[in-house]
Chains A and B, each alone.
Chain A
C-alpha cells in the first residue's frame, strides 16, 4: 500500500529531516511511527500526503508514484487518505455535521447521501447527539473524535494520524484508539505517528522507529496481549 525507496528530505537549513528511508507498509497494516521529537515522524507523514516533497528517493502510494505528482493530482490522492492531526484542524465556524460533511462535499456527493453518511459516521464515533454543535463547544476528546469521523467518512484506503492522542487524556486516548482499531479491522491501512510508548504497549502493532531522520528499528509487536485496555496508564516509557 505504501512504499518508500531511499527517501531523503532536506530543509533549507541544511539538516536532513529524513535520511535514506526505505519502508514498506502492506494493505490493512497498522503501523506506529515512533521516535523522539524531531526524528522525522511528521515529515514522513507529510511526504505521504504530499504536503512536502522528498529531496531524493521515490514514494509509492497504492501502487502510484506520488513523488512527482503535480498540484492538480494531489487533491485526488488526498481523497483516498484520511488525515488526522494533533490539533484536530477542524473548521471552527462550522458545526460538527458540516465538518464531517465537508470531505463528501469535496467529492460532489448528493445532499441526501451526505446526510446519511455523516450521521452514520458520527454515530460510529458516538457524537450523533452533537451534530449542530461547533467544535469550540466540544471537549478535546470530542473534537478529536470529530476529526476521526471526518477522516473516516470517505472510507479512506489509508489513515495517516500525526500524534492524534498527543493532547488527550488517557481515557479519551483509549476511545480514539478503539476507533482506529475498528477502522483497521474494516481494512483501512493506518500509519500513526506517536512517541507515547505506553500507548504502543497497550495496543501493540508494528513499530517503525525513526531517529534523527533515519530508520532506527522496524519491529513486529512485542507486547501483544501484554496489557489489557484497562491497564493503559497513558505514561510514556521505554518498552
Chain B
C-alpha cells in the first residue's frame, strides 16, 4: 500500500481499461497502444498513473485485450515494478461495461473504485472531490460544443441524466471517462451486471454509461465534477497536450545528440535520438530516431524513425507529411 495517509477513505481500487485499436492515433497505435505514446518526456499513461499513486490506491486492475496484453505487461513490469497490478483479459471488444465487468472478481465489498480511461490526463488531485458526500462522481470537462460529447445533465451538480451527443444539450459538462464510486462492489455487481443482463445494444456493445442511468433511476447521488483535464485522444490532441505540459520547455531523454540544430519551444525528444542540421518546434520525437536536415513543427514522430532528405522511402500505413 502506498500514497498519502488515508483518513477518510476506504481502500480504493483503480480500474484502467487499455484495450482497443486506437484508430484516432494512427499510425502510432499500429505499433503500440495509445497510452504508451511518448508525451512530454514520459508516456501518456505516466500522467495517469502518477496522480493515481497519490490516492489511497490499494491495487490497479488493468483490463487489456489480446493485442495490448504483451505491451502493457512489459511496460508496467519494467516501469512500475513496485505497484500491485492485476491484469484481466477482455476477450472480445464488447464495450466499456463489458471491460469493467471483467474486473468483477477483484472488487470486494466496501471497496471504492476509480475507473480511468486513458485518453485522460487530469492535473489536479482528486482526493478532495471524492471526500464529498455522494455515491459516485463522474468527472467532467466544460466544453463549447457539448453536442459532440456525452453530456452530463445535472441539477446543481447532481446528475439527472447522461445523453450521448444530444442535438440540444442541456449542459456544457462532457463525460471524459473518469469515474469514482464509493461502493465499487455494488456498482459492478448490481448496476454493471444489469447492463450485461439486459443484452447487447444495437451496436453490439455494453455501455458503462447505462449503469450510471440505472444508478440514477435507483435514486443514487452522482456528482458531476469539472476538473482540469487534457485530452490525448488523437494525434493532434497529443501534440497539443505536449505543448500544454511542456509550457514552452524542451525535454530530452538519455543520450540524445543534437548537432547544428535549432530546437524551439515545446519539443520532447526520446532516448538515444540524434538530431542534426534541423529545426524543430512544438513536436514529439520518439526514441532511437535520427533526424537530419529537416524542418519540423506540430509533429509526432515515433521510435526508430530515420528522416533525411532522400529518395528512398519506407513509410508505413497512415503516415502523413504535409
| Bound together | no
